[in-house]
Amino acid sequence: MVWPTVSEVYEYRKDVYDTVVNVIMNHPSLDSEDGKGIVVNQEHPMWSLFMGFEHERIHLETSSVLFRETPIELVQRPKSWPGLHPSVYESTSKASKPVEGEDYPSNEMLPVNGGEVQLGKPIDFPSYGWDNEYGTRTVSVPNFQASKYMITNGEYYQFVVEGGYRNEDYWCEDGWAWRKHRNMKWPFFWTPVGPQGSHEYGLRTIFEEIPMQWSFPVDVTYYESKAFCKWKVSITYECVWNSMCIPFLTSCLVFILPYLRLKRMDHLLQSPTES
C-alpha cells in the first residue's frame, strides 16, 4: 500500500468540503416551501449529512486531546485561530499550595432525590442520534449526593500531594497497571515547573503552557477519576470518624465503634451503595 502525499490528502479534503457545501446549499430535499423549515429524520435522504457533522465533532474532540499530548515544540497555533483568553495570563493562582475558597471554589455536596429514570432517545427526538442511543430502559436510582461543581485542579491537587498516585489501595487493578505503565505521578496535562517533589505545576493547553488554573475542571482519565473518588470517600470517612469520636472519646468510644463497624459508616454519609 502506498500512502497518498500530504498535498493529495489536502486536495481530497477540499473536494469533499466543496461537495458537502454544494449539497447543503442546493439539494432540493433541504428546501422548505412554506418557509417553516424541514425535519431531517432517519427517513430523510440528508440524515447521512447530519451523521457526518456528528462524526466530525467526534474527530475534533479526539484530535484536540492528541494535539495536547504531542510535545509542545511540535505544535503551533494556526494563524487564523484566536489565542487564549487574556485572563489565563492574569491569574493570581499560586504555582503550589492552592487555597480552597481563594484559588478554587469550595465544592459542597448537594442531595439529589432518587427515583425512576427513563433512559433512551425516542425515535422522533429532534436531533441526530447513533443507533445505540435509541430504545427504552427504566432504571431505579437511589438518593445520592453530587458535588455542586466539577472537580477542579485545586481539589485534585490534594489527591496528588497526599500520595494518591503512590497508593495502590485507591486504584482498580487495571487502573494501577495503567498508572505504572505510564509512570503517572500527576495528571498528564500538568507540567512540573519547580524542583522535583515541590508539587509546583503549570497547565498544558493544546498549543502552549500556561500558569496553573486551579479553578479549572481537572482533565483526567477514567482510572484517575475512580481513584480520586475512592480517596475522597476515605477522607470523608476519616473526617466523620474524627468529628464524632474526638469530643466523646473517653465516654462514647465503646459505643460508637461497634456502631460504625456495623453500619460501615455508609448510612452516616447517605452513600448510594448501601440501603
192: enclosing H helix or E strand: strand 190-192
pLDDT of residue 113: 94
Helices (H) and strands (E) in the chain, counts: 6, 7
Per the structure block, which three cell numbers stand in for 268?
452516616
**Cell numbers 475558597 correspond to what residue?**
101
HSE toward the beta carbon, residue 157, CA cutoff 13 A: 29
| Residues 27, 33, 38, 44, CA torsion sign | negative
Which stretch of 76-85, 166-175, 236-245 has the lowest confidence by average pLDDT?
236-245
Contact present, 205 and 82 (Cβ < 8 Å): no
Cell matching residue 214: 486551579
pTM (predicted TM-score): 0.74
Residues 175-228: tens digit of each pLDDT: 999 999 999 999 999 999 988 889 999 999 999 999 999 999 999 999 999 999
Instruction: Please give the grid coordinates belonging to residue 124.
Output: 422522533
> How confident is the model at residue 93, as a pLDDT?
66
- Dihedral Cα 18, 21, 23, 27, nearest 10 deg: -130
Give dist(CA 178, CA 250) in Å, integer: 45
At 165 the pLDDT is 97
8 A C-beta contact, residue 145 and residue 273? no
Show the 3-state SS of 146-173: EECCCCEHHHHHHHHHCCCCCCHHHCCH
pLDDT value of position 268: 37
